Structure 1
């Protein structure tokens, strides 16, 4: 394992993600959007995430900048990053396969939209977010630079915490009790993870303070 190979793995992870998403994005565009929460706030969150997960690390790979933030390369750490990158791609694949035409880049509910509760969604409500957390972790492990490596965790973390509650409220409004029951038996990122934190949302009369499904 060398720094060059680690950088190559990161680039291949990005290419693999694009290839997985491209076909589903084309199919999803054919489905009309019935409800959307897109706006300046959502676009800003997406840009922050893109910067952290893509722009900053790719600039580092191409130029080694910022030089001051680099640290000694650790092969064992990079090998762990390879395994996490593979896990991220597997999760992306499982998620897109389960969503089909229901997939959306932003907070959209499409016409004839149905609640997906099979496949990877049987036990996890937001496996797409899980996949991006794995991406961010792989990035931190593969790139020996405090800025480029950890930019993904900061960038995607901003999107996740700024969006996920809005996304779940949107799904509650679209699917009502069906989604409440689904929330009761699943976790956000891992099976049953954060279950207790959603008691307010499970009440029909509850109103989250903020934030919604990718």
Structure 2
């Protein structure tokens, strides 16, 4: 198998792994009652842009090879780094879902009797789910030997992140007040000790 083929295969496996991790939480979330939500047009648009970059564009490339004009020959080390990042992304996804448990939601929602999660992977990072998605987008950039499909995840998820993290933190601050402020003082947003 070529390095390009291996990269695409690992990307597909990463997406399948992500879905396997998320599926039981999605099912449970549909049964839970939402107390506060920030869903609506802007959130739907952010989610669509992110899904396009992390799912539609690379999925189209994996299935059809389009857009072939942006292909390049990847280095073996590039694919190896992509594999490592894909594994790290899935580990982070699992840890965040496990820590959130019933508090997990796909969108900007707070459940009835929602609790501020500050343990596990959330002890040092406020948004480790975003850390996982950034890692997944980086893995995609290394694994997809195509300038458009490879970088689409960074653009798509980056758009969601920078337009969503502020409203999400405002919602949490409104719900949890000083507890959330103190939590923010001792944690980083997505990368411990850096940002």
TM-score (norm 2): 0.97
Higher relative contact order (CA 8 A, sep 6+): 2
Residue 90 (structure 2) aligns with: 89
Residue 65 (structure 1) aligns with: 66
How far does the alpha carbon of each residue in 1:99-156 deviate from its partner, in whole angstroms, 9 at most, with x for none?
0010011100110100000000000000000000000000000011110000000000
Q: What number of residue pairs does the alignment pair up?
A: 194
Moved over 3 A (4+): none
CA distance in 1, matches of 2:11, 2:68: 19
- 2:97 aligned with 1:99: no
Unaligned 5+ runs, structure 1: 195-214
Aligned residue for 2:31, secondary structure, equals coil
Residue 188 (structure 2) aligns with: 187
Instruction: Kindly state the Cα deviation for residue 16 of structure 1 after the two structures are TM-superposed.
Output: 0.4
Aligned residue for 1:34, secondary structure, equals strand
CA distance in 2, matches of 1:123, 1:24: 23
Residue 140 (structure 1) aligns with: 141
Unaligned 5+ runs, structure 2: none
CA distance in 2, matches of 1:35, 1:145: 40
8 Å contact from structure 1 (residues 124, 192) kept in 2: no
Instruction: Kindly state the Cα deviation for residue 2 of structure 1 after the two structures are TM-superposed.
Output: 2.2
CA distance in 1, matches of 2:21, 2:78: 26
Residue 32 (structure 1) aligns with: 33
CA distance in 1, matches of 2:171, 2:194: 20
8 Å contact from structure 2 (residues 54, 156) kept in 1: yes
Instruction: Kindly state the Cα deviation for residue 85 of structure 1 after the two structures are TM-superposed.
Output: 0.3
Greater share of residues in helix: 2
How far does the alpha carbon of each residue in 1:148-172 deviate from its partner, in whole angstroms, 9 at most, with x for none?
0000000000000000010000000
8 Å contact from structure 2 (residues 4, 73) kept in 1: no
Counterpart mapping for 1:140-159 below 5 A = 140-159=141-160
TM-score (norm 1): 0.89
How far does the alpha carbon of each residue in 1:157-206 deviate from its partner, in whole angstroms, 9 at most, with x for none?
00000000100000000000000000000000012333xxxxxxxxxxxx
Residue 197 (structure 1) aligns with: none
CA distance in 2, matches of 1:30, 1:61: 34
